[in-house]
Structure 1
Protein backbone atom coordinates (compact mmCIF):
# COMPACT_ATOMS: atom_id res chain seq x y z
CA UNK A 1 0.00 0.00 0.00
CA UNK A 2 1.29 3.47 -0.91
CA UNK A 3 0.71 6.02 1.84
CA UNK A 4 -0.70 9.40 0.82
CA UNK A 5 1.86 11.88 2.11
CA UNK A 6 1.08 15.49 3.05
CA UNK A 7 3.27 18.11 1.38
CA UNK A 8 6.02 19.21 3.74
CA UNK A 9 7.97 21.91 1.90
CA UNK A 10 6.50 24.66 -0.23
CA UNK A 11 8.23 26.55 -3.03
CA UNK A 12 8.74 29.42 -0.61
CA UNK A 13 10.50 27.12 1.88
CA UNK A 14 13.15 26.14 -0.65
CA UNK A 15 15.51 23.17 -0.42
CA UNK A 16 16.18 21.43 2.88
CA UNK A 17 19.92 20.90 2.32
CA UNK A 18 22.54 23.63 2.29
CA UNK A 19 25.98 22.91 0.82
CA UNK A 20 28.92 25.31 0.91
CA UNK A 21 32.36 24.89 -0.69
CA UNK A 22 31.22 21.85 -2.59
CA UNK A 23 34.69 21.54 -4.18
CA UNK A 24 36.61 22.19 -0.96
CA UNK A 25 40.14 20.84 -1.00
CA UNK A 26 40.25 19.76 2.64
CA UNK A 27 39.52 16.10 3.43
CA UNK A 28 37.11 17.36 6.11
CA UNK A 29 33.43 16.97 5.30
CA UNK A 30 31.65 19.12 7.87
CA UNK A 31 28.06 18.22 8.74
CA UNK A 32 25.62 20.32 10.79
CA UNK A 33 22.35 18.46 11.32
CA UNK A 34 20.86 21.00 13.77
CA UNK A 35 21.90 24.20 12.02
CA UNK A 36 18.57 26.03 11.99
CA UNK A 37 15.42 26.66 14.02
CA UNK A 38 13.40 27.51 10.89
CA UNK A 39 10.11 25.66 10.50
CA UNK A 40 8.52 24.94 7.13
CA UNK A 41 5.57 27.29 6.59
CA UNK A 42 2.87 24.65 6.85
CA UNK A 43 3.78 23.86 10.47
CA UNK A 44 3.33 27.35 11.89
CA UNK A 45 4.92 27.36 15.35
CA UNK A 46 4.11 23.73 16.27
CA UNK A 47 2.18 25.15 19.21
CA UNK A 48 5.39 26.42 20.85
CA UNK A 49 6.32 29.82 22.24
CA UNK A 50 8.94 32.01 20.61
CA UNK A 51 11.16 31.33 23.64
CA UNK A 52 11.00 27.58 23.05
CA UNK A 53 11.61 27.96 19.32
CA UNK A 54 14.74 30.02 19.94
CA UNK A 55 16.09 27.56 22.53
CA UNK A 56 18.30 24.48 22.18
CA UNK A 57 15.31 22.19 21.66
CA UNK A 58 14.80 23.61 18.17
CA UNK A 59 18.43 23.80 17.00
CA UNK A 60 22.06 23.94 18.09
CA UNK A 61 22.73 27.67 18.59
CA UNK A 62 26.07 28.78 17.18
CA UNK A 63 26.94 25.42 15.62
CA UNK A 64 26.48 26.52 12.01
CA UNK A 65 28.50 29.70 12.52
CA UNK A 66 31.40 27.71 14.00
CA UNK A 67 31.18 25.15 11.20
CA UNK A 68 31.24 27.95 8.64
CA UNK A 69 34.34 29.42 10.27
CA UNK A 70 36.16 26.10 10.06
CA UNK A 71 34.93 25.56 6.50
CA UNK A 72 36.26 28.94 5.39
CA UNK A 73 39.63 28.58 7.14
CA UNK A 74 40.35 25.07 5.87
CA UNK A 75 38.48 25.16 2.54
CA UNK A 76 36.27 22.32 3.73
CA UNK A 77 32.90 21.29 2.32
CA UNK A 78 29.98 21.96 4.66
CA UNK A 79 26.56 20.27 4.55
CA UNK A 80 23.73 21.47 6.79
CA UNK A 81 20.02 20.99 7.34
CA UNK A 82 18.00 24.16 6.73
CA UNK A 83 15.04 23.22 8.94
CA UNK A 84 14.56 22.64 12.65
CA UNK A 85 15.31 19.37 14.38
CA UNK A 86 11.75 19.57 15.74
CA UNK A 87 10.35 18.68 12.31
CA UNK A 88 12.93 15.95 11.78
CA UNK A 89 16.16 15.39 13.70
CA UNK A 90 18.57 14.30 10.96
CA UNK A 91 20.90 12.73 13.52
CA UNK A 92 18.25 10.09 14.27
CA UNK A 93 17.01 7.20 12.11
CA UNK A 94 13.31 7.13 11.15
CA UNK A 95 12.67 4.36 13.69
CA UNK A 96 13.82 6.52 16.61
CA UNK A 97 11.20 8.31 18.76
CA UNK A 98 13.66 11.22 18.88
CA UNK A 99 13.46 11.74 15.13
CA UNK A 100 10.16 13.62 15.55
CA UNK A 101 9.92 14.11 19.32
CA UNK A 102 6.68 14.74 21.19
CA UNK A 103 8.68 16.23 24.07
CA UNK A 104 12.14 17.75 24.38
CA UNK A 105 13.59 18.37 27.83
CA UNK A 106 10.87 20.39 29.64
CA UNK A 107 8.83 21.23 26.55
CA UNK A 108 5.85 19.35 25.11
CA UNK A 109 5.63 19.78 21.33
CA UNK A 110 1.94 19.87 20.38
CA UNK A 111 2.59 19.82 16.64
CA UNK A 112 4.41 16.49 16.95
CA UNK A 113 1.79 14.71 19.04
CA UNK A 114 0.14 11.57 17.62
CA UNK A 115 1.68 11.81 14.16
CA UNK A 116 0.24 9.34 11.66
CA UNK A 117 2.39 6.93 9.67
CA UNK A 118 1.74 9.10 6.62
CA UNK A 119 2.94 12.24 8.39
CA UNK A 120 6.07 10.56 9.70
CA UNK A 121 6.90 9.15 6.28
CA UNK A 122 6.36 12.54 4.66
CA UNK A 123 8.79 14.22 7.01
CA UNK A 124 11.32 11.43 6.53
CA UNK A 125 11.14 11.64 2.75
CA UNK A 126 11.23 15.45 2.67
CA UNK A 127 14.04 16.08 5.16
CA UNK A 128 15.99 13.01 6.30
CA UNK A 129 16.36 11.21 2.98
CA UNK A 130 17.64 14.14 0.86
CA UNK A 131 19.97 15.30 3.64
CA UNK A 132 21.75 11.98 3.97
CA UNK A 133 21.60 11.36 0.22
CA UNK A 134 23.50 14.64 -0.21
CA UNK A 135 26.23 13.52 2.20
CA UNK A 136 26.40 10.11 0.54
CA UNK A 137 26.69 11.74 -2.89
CA UNK A 138 29.50 14.05 -1.77
CA UNK A 139 31.48 11.14 -0.35
CA UNK A 140 31.03 9.24 -3.60
CA UNK A 141 32.06 12.21 -5.74
CA UNK A 142 35.16 12.83 -3.63
CA UNK A 143 36.11 9.15 -3.78
CA UNK A 144 35.72 9.19 -7.57
CA UNK A 145 38.27 12.00 -7.86
CA UNK A 146 40.66 10.38 -5.37
CA UNK A 147 39.87 12.69 -2.46
CA UNK A 148 39.69 11.35 1.09
CA UNK A 149 36.75 12.22 3.35
CA UNK A 150 36.85 12.74 7.11
CA UNK A 151 33.39 13.15 8.64
CA UNK A 152 33.10 15.88 11.30
CA UNK A 153 29.66 16.69 12.71
CA UNK A 154 29.26 19.99 14.55
CA UNK A 155 26.86 20.47 17.46
CA UNK A 156 26.26 22.66 20.50
CA UNK A 157 24.65 21.88 23.86
CA UNK A 158 22.91 23.84 26.58
CA UNK A 159 24.86 24.68 29.78
CA UNK A 160 21.89 23.67 31.95
CA UNK A 161 19.87 20.54 31.24
CA UNK A 162 16.92 19.49 33.41
CA UNK A 163 18.14 21.99 35.98
CA UNK A 164 21.67 20.59 36.20
CA UNK A 165 24.79 22.56 35.29
CA UNK A 166 27.15 20.97 32.79
CA UNK A 167 30.80 21.76 33.57
CA UNK A 168 32.16 20.26 30.34
CA UNK A 169 32.87 22.92 27.69
CA UNK A 170 33.90 20.84 24.71
CA UNK A 171 32.89 17.26 23.96
CA UNK A 172 34.76 14.99 21.54
CA UNK A 173 32.38 12.15 20.67
CA UNK A 174 32.83 8.91 18.80
CA UNK A 175 31.29 5.50 18.32
CA UNK A 176 33.37 2.35 17.70
CA UNK A 177 35.94 4.20 15.58
CA UNK A 178 37.89 6.47 17.93
CA UNK A 179 40.92 7.14 15.73
CA UNK A 180 40.30 10.83 15.15
CA UNK A 181 38.73 11.45 18.56
CA UNK A 182 41.74 9.90 20.32
CA UNK A 183 44.15 12.15 18.49
CA UNK A 184 42.02 15.27 19.09
CA UNK A 185 41.85 14.54 22.81
CA UNK A 186 45.63 14.06 22.92
CA UNK A 187 46.24 17.35 21.11
CA UNK A 188 43.73 19.19 23.31
CA UNK A 189 45.44 17.89 26.44
CA UNK A 190 48.81 19.27 25.33
CA UNK A 191 47.64 22.87 25.82
CA UNK A 192 44.25 22.82 27.61
CA UNK A 193 42.08 25.80 26.72
CA UNK A 194 38.63 24.32 27.35
CA UNK A 195 37.41 21.61 29.68
CA UNK A 196 37.35 18.84 27.08
CA UNK A 197 35.93 15.37 27.68
CA UNK A 198 35.33 12.18 25.72
CA UNK A 199 31.70 11.30 24.87
CA UNK A 200 30.25 14.11 26.98
CA UNK A 201 27.66 15.46 27.55
CA UNK A 202 26.31 12.69 25.32
CA UNK A 203 27.66 9.44 23.96
CA UNK A 204 26.79 6.46 21.76
CA UNK A 205 24.35 5.15 24.37
CA UNK A 206 22.25 8.28 23.81
CA UNK A 207 21.85 7.55 20.10
CA UNK A 208 23.75 10.65 18.96
CA UNK A 209 26.24 8.92 16.66
CA UNK A 210 23.78 8.05 13.88
CA UNK A 211 25.44 10.25 11.24
CA UNK A 212 28.89 8.98 12.21
CA UNK A 213 27.74 5.38 11.83
CA UNK A 214 25.84 6.00 8.61
CA UNK A 215 28.62 7.81 6.75
CA UNK A 216 31.81 7.24 8.72
CA UNK A 217 31.86 3.73 10.12
CA UNK A 218 29.97 2.23 7.19
CA UNK A 219 32.57 3.61 4.76
CA UNK A 220 35.67 3.03 6.90
CA UNK A 221 36.19 6.81 7.13
CA UNK A 222 37.65 8.64 10.10
CA UNK A 223 34.92 10.50 11.92
CA UNK A 224 34.16 12.55 15.01
CA UNK A 225 31.32 14.53 16.55
CA UNK A 226 32.11 17.85 18.23
CA UNK A 227 29.86 19.29 20.95
CA UNK A 228 30.44 22.90 22.12
CA UNK A 229 28.68 24.39 25.14
CA UNK A 230 26.53 27.05 23.55
CA UNK A 231 27.25 29.87 26.01
CA UNK A 232 30.79 29.87 24.60
CA UNK A 233 29.52 30.56 21.07
CA UNK A 234 26.62 32.90 21.77
CA UNK A 235 28.05 35.81 19.74
CA UNK A 236 30.31 36.53 16.78
CA UNK A 237 33.43 36.82 18.94
CA UNK A 238 32.88 33.52 20.73
CA UNK A 239 32.05 31.79 17.47
CA UNK A 240 35.19 33.11 15.84
CA UNK A 241 37.41 32.09 18.75
CA UNK A 242 35.94 28.58 18.84
CA UNK A 243 36.15 28.15 15.07
CA UNK A 244 39.81 29.14 15.15
CA UNK A 245 40.56 26.79 18.04
CA UNK A 246 38.78 23.84 16.44
CA UNK A 247 40.42 24.54 13.10
CA UNK A 248 43.81 24.17 14.75
CA UNK A 249 42.75 21.12 16.74
CA UNK A 250 41.43 19.35 13.66
CA UNK A 251 44.39 20.32 11.48
CA UNK A 252 46.96 19.10 14.00
CA UNK A 253 45.04 15.88 14.51
CA UNK A 254 44.78 15.22 10.76
CA UNK A 255 48.45 16.00 10.23
CA UNK A 256 49.30 13.37 12.83
Structure 2
Protein backbone atom coordinates (compact mmCIF):
# COMPACT_ATOMS: atom_id res chain seq x y z
CA UNK A 1 0.00 0.00 0.00
CA UNK A 2 1.48 3.30 -1.13
CA UNK A 3 0.31 6.49 0.59
CA UNK A 4 -0.04 9.49 -1.71
CA UNK A 5 -0.59 12.72 0.22
CA UNK A 6 -1.86 15.88 -1.46
CA UNK A 7 -2.98 19.39 -0.55
CA UNK A 8 -4.67 21.28 -3.38
CA UNK A 9 -5.49 24.47 -1.44
CA UNK A 10 -2.32 25.02 0.56
CA UNK A 11 -1.86 28.73 -0.12
CA UNK A 12 -3.24 31.96 -1.51
CA UNK A 13 -0.54 32.89 -4.02
CA UNK A 14 -1.44 34.84 -7.16
CA UNK A 15 1.06 35.03 -10.04
CA UNK A 16 2.45 38.56 -10.42
CA UNK A 17 0.98 38.98 -13.91
CA UNK A 18 -2.56 38.53 -12.56
CA UNK A 19 -2.40 40.41 -9.25
CA UNK A 20 -4.24 43.38 -10.73
CA UNK A 21 -7.27 41.08 -10.95
CA UNK A 22 -7.32 41.04 -7.15
CA UNK A 23 -7.41 44.73 -6.09
CA UNK A 24 -8.77 43.75 -2.67
CA UNK A 25 -6.39 41.08 -1.49
CA UNK A 26 -8.24 40.68 1.83
CA UNK A 27 -10.41 37.99 0.27
CA UNK A 28 -7.28 35.96 -0.40
CA UNK A 29 -6.67 35.76 3.35
CA UNK A 30 -10.07 34.18 4.03
CA UNK A 31 -11.31 30.61 3.59
CA UNK A 32 -12.26 31.54 0.05
CA UNK A 33 -8.63 32.12 -0.87
CA UNK A 34 -7.22 28.88 0.54
CA UNK A 35 -7.75 26.14 3.13
CA UNK A 36 -6.40 27.62 6.34
CA UNK A 37 -4.28 25.14 8.27
CA UNK A 38 -4.39 22.47 5.57
CA UNK A 39 -0.76 22.84 4.48
CA UNK A 40 0.34 22.70 8.12
CA UNK A 41 -1.42 19.34 8.58
CA UNK A 42 -0.07 18.13 5.23
CA UNK A 43 3.50 18.88 6.32
CA UNK A 44 2.91 17.16 9.66
CA UNK A 45 1.62 14.01 7.95
CA UNK A 46 4.25 14.04 5.21
CA UNK A 47 6.62 11.54 6.95
CA UNK A 48 3.89 8.90 6.64
CA UNK A 49 3.63 9.27 2.87
CA UNK A 50 5.48 7.57 0.05
CA UNK A 51 5.09 10.67 -2.09
CA UNK A 52 3.45 14.05 -1.51
CA UNK A 53 2.26 16.98 -3.61
CA UNK A 54 0.93 20.39 -2.67
CA UNK A 55 0.01 23.69 -4.26
CA UNK A 56 0.05 27.19 -2.82
CA UNK A 57 -1.75 28.79 -5.78
CA UNK A 58 -5.02 30.32 -4.62
CA UNK A 59 -8.21 28.51 -5.51
CA UNK A 60 -9.55 31.93 -6.55
CA UNK A 61 -6.98 31.97 -9.35
CA UNK A 62 -7.76 28.47 -10.60
CA UNK A 63 -9.50 25.69 -8.68
CA UNK A 64 -7.25 22.62 -8.70
CA UNK A 65 -9.91 20.51 -7.01
CA UNK A 66 -12.46 20.95 -9.80
CA UNK A 67 -12.79 19.37 -13.22
CA UNK A 68 -12.10 21.41 -16.34
CA UNK A 69 -15.83 21.59 -17.12
CA UNK A 70 -16.83 22.82 -13.64
CA UNK A 71 -18.38 26.33 -13.53
CA UNK A 72 -16.21 27.23 -10.51
CA UNK A 73 -12.91 26.33 -12.17
CA UNK A 74 -12.36 30.07 -12.44
CA UNK A 75 -13.64 32.49 -9.78
CA UNK A 76 -15.33 35.83 -10.26
CA UNK A 77 -11.84 37.34 -10.42
CA UNK A 78 -10.65 35.25 -13.36
CA UNK A 79 -13.73 33.98 -15.17
CA UNK A 80 -13.79 37.00 -17.48
CA UNK A 81 -10.27 36.43 -18.74
CA UNK A 82 -9.89 35.67 -22.44
CA UNK A 83 -9.92 32.08 -23.62
CA UNK A 84 -6.20 32.33 -24.42
CA UNK A 85 -5.42 33.52 -20.89
CA UNK A 86 -7.54 30.77 -19.34
CA UNK A 87 -5.92 28.15 -21.54
CA UNK A 88 -2.50 29.38 -20.46
CA UNK A 89 -3.47 29.21 -16.78
CA UNK A 90 -4.72 25.66 -17.27
CA UNK A 91 -1.52 24.73 -19.11
CA UNK A 92 0.87 26.41 -16.66
CA UNK A 93 -0.81 25.87 -13.28
CA UNK A 94 -3.71 23.42 -13.37
CA UNK A 95 -2.51 20.55 -15.55
CA UNK A 96 1.09 20.31 -14.25
CA UNK A 97 -0.13 19.73 -10.69
CA UNK A 98 -2.87 17.29 -11.65
CA UNK A 99 -0.60 15.38 -14.04
CA UNK A 100 2.16 14.99 -11.43
CA UNK A 101 -0.24 13.38 -8.98
CA UNK A 102 -2.01 11.24 -11.59
CA UNK A 103 1.25 10.04 -13.16
CA UNK A 104 2.69 8.95 -9.82
CA UNK A 105 -0.45 7.04 -8.90
CA UNK A 106 -0.42 5.34 -12.31
CA UNK A 107 3.22 4.42 -11.83
CA UNK A 108 2.49 2.78 -8.48
CA UNK A 109 -0.54 0.90 -9.78
CA UNK A 110 1.25 -0.27 -12.93
CA UNK A 111 3.92 -1.82 -10.73
CA UNK A 112 1.29 -3.93 -8.98
CA UNK A 113 0.90 -1.49 -6.16
CA UNK A 114 -2.18 -0.25 -4.38
CA UNK A 115 -2.65 3.42 -3.60
CA UNK A 116 -4.22 5.19 -0.66
CA UNK A 117 -4.63 8.84 -1.62
CA UNK A 118 -5.36 11.27 1.21
CA UNK A 119 -6.22 14.80 0.14
CA UNK A 120 -6.00 17.31 3.00
CA UNK A 121 -8.52 20.18 3.22
CA UNK A 122 -10.15 22.44 5.79
CA UNK A 123 -13.53 24.14 6.02
CA UNK A 124 -14.89 27.31 7.58
CA UNK A 125 -16.85 26.72 10.83
CA UNK A 126 -19.75 28.82 9.55
CA UNK A 127 -21.11 29.19 6.05
CA UNK A 128 -24.03 31.40 5.04
CA UNK A 129 -24.87 31.98 8.68
CA UNK A 130 -25.05 28.29 9.56
CA UNK A 131 -22.68 26.54 11.95
CA UNK A 132 -21.19 23.32 10.62
CA UNK A 133 -21.48 20.65 13.27
CA UNK A 134 -18.31 18.70 12.61
CA UNK A 135 -14.66 18.59 13.70
CA UNK A 136 -13.27 16.27 11.05
CA UNK A 137 -15.04 15.19 7.87
CA UNK A 138 -14.06 12.03 5.99
CA UNK A 139 -15.19 12.18 2.38
CA UNK A 140 -15.45 9.07 0.21
CA UNK A 141 -17.58 7.48 -2.48
CA UNK A 142 -20.21 5.40 -0.67
CA UNK A 143 -20.30 2.98 -3.61
CA UNK A 144 -16.64 2.13 -3.06
CA UNK A 145 -16.58 -0.51 -0.30
CA UNK A 146 -12.86 -0.18 0.44
CA UNK A 147 -13.17 3.58 0.84
CA UNK A 148 -16.13 3.13 3.15
CA UNK A 149 -14.29 0.55 5.24
CA UNK A 150 -11.16 2.68 5.45
CA UNK A 151 -13.13 5.67 6.72
CA UNK A 152 -14.97 3.56 9.29
CA UNK A 153 -11.66 2.31 10.67
CA UNK A 154 -10.07 5.77 10.50
CA UNK A 155 -12.94 7.21 12.50
CA UNK A 156 -12.56 4.44 15.08
CA UNK A 157 -8.85 5.18 15.39
CA UNK A 158 -9.42 8.94 15.68
CA UNK A 159 -11.99 8.45 18.45
CA UNK A 160 -9.65 6.06 20.25
CA UNK A 161 -7.10 8.84 20.51
CA UNK A 162 -9.62 11.67 20.99
CA UNK A 163 -13.08 10.40 22.09
CA UNK A 164 -14.70 13.84 22.05
CA UNK A 165 -14.02 14.53 18.37
CA UNK A 166 -17.08 14.91 16.16
CA UNK A 167 -16.04 12.88 13.10
CA UNK A 168 -18.59 12.68 10.30
CA UNK A 169 -18.77 10.89 6.97
CA UNK A 170 -19.29 12.86 3.74
CA UNK A 171 -19.71 16.13 5.60
CA UNK A 172 -19.58 19.06 5.00
CA UNK A 173 -19.37 17.84 1.37
CA UNK A 174 -20.11 14.62 -0.45
CA UNK A 175 -17.09 12.53 -1.38
CA UNK A 176 -18.56 11.73 -4.79
CA UNK A 177 -19.02 15.41 -5.72
CA UNK A 178 -16.82 16.92 -8.40
CA UNK A 179 -13.24 16.87 -7.14
CA UNK A 180 -9.77 15.48 -7.75
CA UNK A 181 -10.41 12.17 -5.97
CA UNK A 182 -13.64 11.72 -7.95
CA UNK A 183 -11.72 12.28 -11.18
CA UNK A 184 -8.98 9.84 -10.15
CA UNK A 185 -11.49 7.10 -9.31
CA UNK A 186 -12.56 7.21 -12.94
CA UNK A 187 -8.97 6.89 -14.11
CA UNK A 188 -8.16 4.02 -11.74
CA UNK A 189 -11.06 1.65 -11.24
CA UNK A 190 -8.88 -0.77 -9.26
CA UNK A 191 -6.24 -0.45 -6.55
CA UNK A 192 -7.08 3.21 -5.79
CA UNK A 193 -8.63 4.55 -2.60
CA UNK A 194 -9.28 8.29 -2.62
CA UNK A 195 -10.22 10.03 0.65
CA UNK A 196 -10.57 13.73 1.41
CA UNK A 197 -9.92 14.73 5.01
CA UNK A 198 -11.71 17.95 5.96
CA UNK A 199 -10.63 19.76 9.14
CA UNK A 200 -12.68 22.42 10.88
CA UNK A 201 -10.87 25.76 10.81
CA UNK A 202 -11.97 26.43 14.38
CA UNK A 203 -8.78 24.53 15.29
CA UNK A 204 -6.64 27.00 13.30
CA UNK A 205 -4.64 29.92 14.69
CA UNK A 206 -2.26 31.83 12.40
CA UNK A 207 -2.60 29.12 9.75
CA UNK A 208 -1.52 26.42 12.22
CA UNK A 209 -3.77 23.57 13.38
CA UNK A 210 -3.79 22.61 17.05
CA UNK A 211 -1.00 20.11 17.72
CA UNK A 212 -3.31 17.64 19.47
CA UNK A 213 -5.49 17.35 16.37
CA UNK A 214 -2.46 16.78 14.13
CA UNK A 215 -1.09 14.15 16.48
CA UNK A 216 -4.43 12.31 16.59
CA UNK A 217 -4.65 12.21 12.79
CA UNK A 218 -1.03 11.12 12.47
CA UNK A 219 -1.46 8.25 14.92
CA UNK A 220 -4.73 7.13 13.34
CA UNK A 221 -3.34 7.05 9.79
CA UNK A 222 -0.08 5.46 10.90
CA UNK A 223 -1.95 2.63 12.60
CA UNK A 224 -4.13 1.90 9.59
CA UNK A 225 -1.30 2.15 7.08
CA UNK A 226 0.67 -0.48 8.97
CA UNK A 227 -2.42 -2.71 9.26
CA UNK A 228 -3.75 -2.37 5.74
CA UNK A 229 -5.43 -5.80 5.91
CA UNK A 230 -7.85 -4.47 8.55
CA UNK A 231 -9.93 -2.54 6.03
CA UNK A 232 -8.91 -4.51 2.96
CA UNK A 233 -10.91 -7.56 4.04
- What's the TM-score bracket when you normalise by the shorter of the two chains? 0.7 to 0.9
Alignment of 1:17-28 (within 5 A): 27-28=2-3
Q: Which residue of 2 aligns with 1:33?
A: 8
In the TM superposition, what is the alpha-carbon distance from 1:186 to its structure 2 partner?
Answer: 3.6
1:5-28 alpha-carbon deviations (Å, 9 max, x no partner): xxxxxxxxxxxxxxxxxxxxx721
* CA gap 1:155/1:48 in 2 versus in 1, 3 angstroms: farther
Root-mean-square deviation (CA, aligned residues, Å) is 2.3
Contact 1:36–1:81 (Cα < 8 Å) also in 2: yes
Q: Which residue of 1 aligns with 2:180?
A: 211
> What is the TM-score with the length of structure 1 in the denominator?
0.77
Q: Which residue of 2 aligns with 1:153?
A: 119
Q: Which residue of 1 aligns with 2:135?
A: 169
5+ residue gaps, structure 2: none
Contact 2:64–2:94 (Cα < 8 Å) also in 1: yes
In the TM superposition, what is the alpha-carbon distance from 1:156 to its structure 2 partner?
Answer: 0.4
* CA gap 1:91/1:113 in 2 versus in 1, 3 angstroms: closer
1:188-229 alpha-carbon deviations (Å, 9 max, x no partner): 45552311111111114653xx21122245322122110001
* CA gap 1:80/1:59 in 2 versus in 1, 3 angstroms: same
> What is the TM-score with the length of structure 2 in the denominator?
0.84
Contact 1:39–1:45 (Cα < 8 Å) also in 2: no
1:5-58 alpha-carbon deviations (Å, 9 max, x no partner): xxxxxxxxxxxxxxxxxxxxx721011010110111111153352321111101
Q: Which residue of 2 aligns with 1:124?
A: 90
5+ residue gaps, structure 1: 1-25, 103-110
Contact 1:92–1:99 (Cα < 8 Å) also in 2: yes
Residue 46 of structure 1 pairs with residue 18 of structure 2: no
Residue 180 of structure 1 pairs with residue 139 of structure 2: no
How many residue pairs get aligned? The number is 220
SS at match of 1:99: coil
1:44-75 alpha-carbon deviations (Å, 9 max, x no partner): 15335232111110100110110110112x25
Q: Equivalents in 1 of 2:91, 2:17: separation in Å? A: 16
Alignment of 1:1-256 (within 5 A): 27-44=2-19, 46-72=21-47, 74-102=48-76, 111-143=77-109, 147-175=113-141, 176-177=143-144, 178-190=148-160, 192-204=163-175, 206-207=177-178, 210-216=179-185, 218-219=187-188, 220=190, 221-235=192-206, 238-254=209-225, 255=227, 256=230
Q: Equivalents in 1 of 2:195, 2:186: separation in Å? A: 10
Ranked by relative contact order (alpha carbons within 8 Å, sequence separation 6 or more), the top structure is: 2
In the TM superposition, what is the alpha-carbon distance from 1:94 to its structure 2 partner?
Answer: 1.1
